[in-house]
A and B are shown apart, each in its own frame.
Chain A
Amino acid sequence: MEHAVASAHAAEHEHETSTGLDNRKLVMWAFLASDCLFFGSFISTYMIYRGRSPTGPCPHECVLNGVHYEGIFSIPYTSVSAFVLLMSSLTMVLALAAIQRGDHRGLRVWLLATALLGSVFVGGQYFEFTTFYHHGLSLSVNLFGTTFFVLTGFHGAHVTVGIIMLLSLLLTSLLGRLPASDSLTVELTGLYWHFVDVVWIVIFTVVYLLPA
C-alpha cells in the first residue's frame, strides 16, 4: 500500500493529469475563450454604433448633414503595422522552437525580436491615435470616436501586457532561470500573443477594411 501511495502522489507531482494536458495550458485556453467574449462585446458595440454618428470625423469619406468629412483612416499605414504584428507571431514561434531544442541564445534573440515588433505596433498605434486626435477625433466628439478608441485601446493594452510578459521571460532567461524543461511558459506566452494577433486581424477587418 505504501508503495501505491507514494507512486500515486509522485505521479501527481509530475503534473500528470486526467487529460494529459498541463493545467496551465488548459487554463490559458479557457482564459482566451473568455477573452473572446470581452473583445466580442467591444466589437459588437462598435458594429451597433457604426455609421450612426450624426457628426464627423468619419472612418471613411462621408457627408453628414451637408458637411463633407475626409476619411480619417490611412489603410496603407495601418496595413503595415498589422503586418508588423503578424510577423511578431512568426518570431514568437521561432522563440518557442529555440527553447524546445535547448537553444537559449536563439530564445533570447527571438523573444527580443517579438517584443520589439510588438513595440513597433504599439508605437504605431500611439502615432495613429495622436494623428486622429489632431484631425478632430476624440473620445467625446461622436460615437465613432468613443467606440474606436476604447476598442483599439483595449487591444493595445493587451499587446502591451504581452510585451511585458515577453520582456519578463527574456529577463528570466538572462538570469538563467528559464531552463529548456520550462518551455511551456514560453508556449503559454505564445498562445496569448497569437490570440492578441488574431484579435487584431478581426478588428482590422471589421473596423478598417469594411466599407461604410
Chain B
Amino acid sequence: MATTVVHGVPTTAAPPQTRVYRGIWSWVTTVDHKRIGVLYGVTAFAFFLIGGVEALLIRTQLAVPGNRLIHPETYNQLFTMHGTTMIFLVVMPLSVAFFNIVVPLQIGARDVAFPRLNALSYWIFVTGGIFLNAGWLLGASPNAGWFSYANLTERAYNPGPNQDFWTLGLLVLGTASMAGAFNFIVTIVNMRAPGMSLMRMPVFTWMTFVTSFLIIFAFPIITVALIQLLFDRHFGTNFFNAAAGIDGDTLLWQHLFWLFGHPEVYILILPAMGIVSEILPVFARKPLFGYAVVVYSGIAIAFVSFGVWAHHMFTTGLGPVANAVFLTTTMAVAVPTGVKIFNWIATLWGGSLRFSVPMMYAIAFVSMFTIGGLSGVSHAVVPSDFQQQDSYYIVAHFHYVLFGGAIMGLFGGIYYWWPKVTGRLLDEKIGALQFWVMLIGFNLAFGPMHFLGMNGMPRRIFTYPEGMGWDLWNMVATIGAYLMGFGVLLLIHNAAVSLRRGQPASGDPWDGRTLEWAIPSPPPVYNFATIPVVHGRDAWWLMKHPHRSEREGTTDTDRVDVQLGGRHLGVVETPDDPSRESPAAYEDAHHLGIHLPDGSWFPVITAFGLTFFAAGLIFGWWLTGLGALMMIFGIYAWCYEPING
C-alpha cells in the first residue's frame, strides 16, 4: 500500500489488547469484521444447502404427473420454507457477508463503526435461522407461502405452531438485519479514509449504503405486520379478521407485506449489482462506464421501490385508477435498472476482457437478470398480469432475477473475493466447469417454467394430472434443478481443493482497482498498516499508476489537503510507488500503534436471549423468562464492559 506522509500531528500510543481468546472461542467472541463476514458466509451457505435440498424435493415431486411421493401438507411446508430460507437466510446474509468482508477494506477503515453490534447481528441471524427451521423437528414448519397471506395464517384456519415459527422467526431475523444496516450506514458515512469522498466510493460500497437504507425503512413495516399477525393469533386482536361483525380487511396484510416486500427484492438484488459493478471494470481493464449514473440509478431504484408495492395486488380488485398508477411506477422502476445494464455493457465495450470465473458470473448476471427484468415488465402490464398471476410464469420470473440475478452475482463475488479472504486462488478449470453446469442447469430449470405458466400451470400445486401438456417441461425443469445441485457440489469441491492445496494468492491477484487489493491476502487483522489517502475513484489503481492517472482523467490532483473530522491534518504529496511495500513492512498491530478491540461474549448472550424470548411463545413462558434475563444481563454487561473498541 502506498505510504503517505502527513506532517504536523502529535503522536499518541494506543493501549495494548488486554484479553485474547484462542481457538473456537476466538470465533465465538470475535468482533473482527472479516471473521464475522466469514461466519456469515459459511452459515448462509449452510442454509443455502438446506434451501437447495427443499428445492430438489419440490422438483422431484413435480417431475412426473400424479406423483404421490410427498404429502401435500409437507409440500406446502417445503415451498414455504424454500422461499423463506432463500430470501432471509441465504441471499440477504450472503450479501451481508460481503458487506462485512469488503466494505471496511474498500473505504480504508480498520473495522465497522460498531464491532460488537456487528457480532450481535450475526448471532441473532444464526439463532433466528435455526429457530425458523426448528419447525421441521415438530413436523410443523411454516406452510402459508413466503408471503403468508391473511387470513390463511389466522389461528382459525392454521391452528398449529407452523406460522408461529414463521412470524417469530422473521421478527427475530429482522432485528439482525436492521442492526447490521445501522452499522453499515454509520460505517460508510463516518469511517471513510481521508480523501474518500462519497462519489469516490466503490460502487459495491455505494450499493451497501443504499441497501442499508432500504433495510432500515422497509423492515419496520414488516415488523408491524408480523406483530399484528402475532397479536391476532395469540392475543385476540382483529387486524386481519374479516368475520361479519368485526369487518377487518385481509388486504391490510397484503399492503403492509408488499410495502416491505418490494423494497425487499431490491435489498436482495442491489448488493449483487454492486458486486458486478466491481468485477466488470477489473476484468475489462477499464473504469466503470458512467460511474455517477450507476450510483444515481441505484439510489433511484431504492426510492421508486417504495412506490410499486400494489403491482403484487393487481388481481385483488383495487380498481383501475390504483392499477394504472402502480403500472406506471412499476414501468418507471425498470428505467434506472435498464440504465445500469447499458452501463455494464458499455464497460465491456472496447475493454481488454479476461474471462476468469468472476467475469463469467458477472456476465451471466447481466444477461440472466435482463431476461428476468423483461418478464417483470411484462407483468407490470395489468391485463397481462391477470393471466400470469400465481402461475409458473411468475415462478420463472423471480428465479431469473433472484437466482440468475442475485445468486449469480453473489457466486461471482465468491470467486472474486475468495483469494482476498483465504489467501488462496480457486481453481479456474473446476470454476469454469462449475459455471457452465450452473448456467445450463439454471436455464433448463427455470426457462421452461415460462411455458408452463403460459400454459396455465398454477404455482404451489403439489401435483398435476396427466395430459395437461405440462409433463415434458416439468421433467426438463427437474433435470435442470439436479444439474444445479451438482454445480453447487462442484463449488464445494473447488473450495475444499483451494483450502487444502490452492495456489497462494498475492495481495492483488486480479490487478484490482479498489483498496481491498492494496493489502495482503488474507488481510492482517488490523487491515491497513497506514490509513490510505484517497486521490480519486479506483483508489488502488491510482496508487499503482500515479502518472497515468491524470491522463485518464480520474484523479483531481496529486497534491491533496488531508482533513479528518473537519480538522486539517496536512498536505499529501504524490503517492509513493506501492511496489516499495514489502510484507516485512507489516508488523504486529501493537507495534504499529493500531488499536484493536477485544472479543466479547455479550453479543452472543444477548442474541441467544432474544431468540429464546421469541421461542418461548411456542415452547413455554419459562423460555421467554430465561431469554428476557439473558437479554437484560447481556445488554447491561455490554454497556458496562470496559470500552476497548
Name the A residues within 8 Å of B398 (CB-CB): none
The stretch of A45-53, A69-77, A98-106 that contacts the partner chain: A45-53
Question: CB-nearest residue of chain A relative to B594?
Answer: A9
Tell me which residues from 1 to 54 in chain A have a Cβ below 8 Å from any Cβ of chain B: 1, 3-13, 16-21, 23, 26-27, 30-31, 33-35, 37-38, 40-42, 45, 48-49, 52-54
- A48–B185 Cα distance when bound, in Å, is 33
Q: How far is the CB of A195 from chain B (nearest CB, A)?
A: 14
Judge whether A26 and B236 touch: CB under 8 Å: no
Docked-complex contact A26 and B247, CB < 8 angstroms: no
B397 contacts the other chain (CB 8 A): no
B569 touches A (CB below 8 Å): yes
Q: Are B190 and A142 in contact (CB under 8 A)?
A: no
CA distance A186 to B157 in the complex (A): 49
Is the beta-carbon distance between A17 and B191 smaller than 8 angstroms?
Answer: yes
User: Across the interface, do A18 and B231 meet the contact criterion of CB distance under 8 Å?
Assistant: no
Cβ of A9 and Cβ of B14 under 8 Å apart?
Answer: yes
Contact A42 B247 (CB under 8 A): no
Q: A10-B12, A17-B190, A139-B231 known; A41 and B224 CB under 8 Å?
A: yes
CA distance A57 to B575 in the complex (A): 74
> Chain A: interface residue count, which band?
35 or more
Which residue of the partner chain, among B114, B237, B530, contacts A140 with CB atoms under 8 Å?
Answer: B237
Chain B interface residue count, CB cutoff 8 Å, equals: 63
Q: Is the CB of B225 within 8 A of A13?
A: no
Residue numbers in B under 8 Å from A13 (CB-CB): 12, 14, 595
Contact of A38 with B189 in the complex, beta carbons under 8 Å: no
Residue B66 interfacial (CB < 8 Å)? no
B12 partner, pick from A6, A33, A168, beta carbons under 8 A: A6
CA distance A26 to B209 in the complex (A): 14
Task: Please report the C-alpha to C-alpha distance between residue A4 and residue B572 in the assembled complex, in whole angstroms.
Answer: 11
Cβ contact within 8 Å between A1 and B256: no
B15 → A minimal CB distance (Å) = 9
Q: Does A150 contact B (CB under 8 A)?
A: yes
Within 8 A of B (CB), among A141-183: 142-143, 146-147, 149-150, 154, 168, 177
Q: Is the CB of A27 within 8 A of B6?
A: no
Whether B114 lies near A7 (C-beta < 8 A) is no
For the complex, is B5 an interface residue (Cβ under 8 Å from A)?
Answer: yes
Pair B566/A20 contact, Cβ less than 8 Å:
yes
Do the beta carbons of A8 and B191 come within 8 Å of each other?
no
Minimal Cβ-Cβ distance residue in A for B240: A146
- What is the CA–CA distance of A142 and B303 in the complex, to the nearest angstrom? 36
A55 contacts the other chain (CB 8 A): yes
Q: A18-B565, A55-B245 are in contact. Are A3 and B190 (CB under 8 A)?
A: no
Chain B residues, Cβ within 8 Å of A17: 189-191, 565
Q: Is the CB of B529 within 8 A of A5?
A: yes
Which of chain B's residues 213-247 have a Cβ closer than 8 Å to chain A? Answer: 216-221, 223-225, 227-228, 231, 235-239, 245-247
Nearest CB in chain A to that of B221: its residue: A41
Assess whether B584 is interfacial by the CB under 8 Å rule.
no
Instruction: Evaluate contact between A16 and B252: CB separation under 8 angstroms.
Output: no
Contact with A along B19-34 (1 / 0, CB 8 A): 0000000000000000
Task: Output the least CB separation between B637 and chain A (Å).
Answer: 13
Query: Could you say which residues of chain A place their CB within 8 Å of the CB of B16?
Result: none
A1 with B530, Cβ < 8 A, contacts A11-B564, A18-B189, A30-B186 known? yes
Of all chain A residues, the one with the shortest Cβ separation from B12 is A10
CB contacts (< 8 Å) of A53 on chain B: these are: 246-247
Chain A hits for B247, CB < 8 A:
52-54, 143
- Which residues of A (81-129) have their CB < 8 Å from a CB of B? none
Which chain B residues lie closer than 8 Å to A3 at the CB level? 9, 11
Contact A16 B186 (CB under 8 A): no
User: In the complex the two chains form, is B231's CB within 8 Å of A4's CB?
Assistant: no
Q: Which residues of B contact A8 (CB under 8 A)?
A: 6, 9, 530-531, 564
Q: If A4-B6, A38-B223 touch, does A146 touch B239 (CB 8 Å cutoff)?
A: yes
Q: Indicate whether B383 reaches chain A with its CB closer than 8 angstroms.
A: no
Beta-carbon contact of B182 and A31 below 8 Å: yes
- CA–CA, A12 to B185, complex, Å? 18
Are A23 and B190 in touch, CB under 8 angstroms?
yes
Residue among A6, A30, A40 making CB contact with B11, cutoff 8 Å: A6
Among B191, B246, B256, B531, the residue within 8 A (CB) of A9 is B531
Closest to B222 in A: A41
CB 8 Å contact bits of B178-211 with A (1 = contact, 0 = none): 1000110110011110001000000000000000
**Contact call B178/A34, Cβ cutoff below 8 A:** yes
Q: Smallest distance from the beta carbon of A75 to chain B beta carbons, Å?
A: 25
Instruction: Give the distance in Å from the alpha carbon of A12 to the alpha carbon of B113 in the complex.
Output: 11
Whether B595 and A9, one on each chain, are in contact in the complex, defined by CB atoms closer than 8 angstroms, is: yes
Residue of A nearest to B223 (CB): A38
Q: Are B11 and A10 in contact (CB under 8 A)?
A: yes
Instruction: Let me know if B553 is at the binding interface, CB within 8 A.
Output: no
B138 lies within 8 A of chain A by Cβ = no
**Does B186 contact A41, Cβ atoms closer than 8 Å?**
no
Report which of B225, B259, B569, B640 forms a contact with A11, defined as CB distance below 8 A: B569
Q: How far is the CA of A143 from the CA of B427 in the complex (A)?
A: 61
Cα separation A6 to B9 with both chains bound (whole Å) = 9
Question: A20 touching B182 by the CB < 8 A rule?
Answer: no
| A residues less than 8 Å from B248 (CB atoms) | 49, 143, 146
Q: How far is the CA of A41 from the CA of B228 in the complex (A)?
A: 11
Nearest-Cβ distance from residue A202 to partner chain B, whole angstroms:
15
How far is the CB of A164 from the nearest CB of chain B, in Å? 10
Given known contacts A23-B114, A30-B186, A4 and B565 CB-to-CB distance under 8 angstroms: no
Q: A31-B182, A146-B237 are in contact. Are A4 and B220 (CB under 8 A)?
A: no
Given A6-B12, A6-B13, A143-B247, 7 more contacts at CB 8 Å? Answer: A4-B6, A7-B11, A18-B190, A27-B185, A34-B219, A143-B248, A177-B640
| Interface positions of A (Cβ within 8 A of B) | 1, 3-13, 16-21, 23, 26-27, 30-31, 33-35, 37-38, 40-42, 45, 48-49, 52-55, 138-140, 142-143, 146-147, 149-150, 154, 168, 177
Q: List 25 A-B contacts (CB under 8 A).
A: A1-B3, A5-B593, A6-B11, A6-B592, A7-B9, A9-B110, A10-B11, A11-B567, A12-B110, A13-B12, A16-B567, A18-B190, A19-B565, A20-B566, A23-B113, A23-B190, A27-B186, A33-B216, A33-B217, A37-B218, A45-B239, A138-B236, A139-B236, A146-B237, A147-B239
Contact residues of B with A, CB < 8 Å? 3-6, 9-14, 110, 113-114, 178, 182-183, 185-186, 189-192, 196, 216-221, 223-225, 227-228, 231, 235-239, 245-249, 252, 256, 259, 529-531, 564-567, 569, 592-595, 636, 639-640
- The 9 nearest A-B residue pairs measured at CB: A16-B565, A41-B224, A7-B9, A17-B190, A37-B220, A38-B220, A140-B236, A34-B216, A10-B12
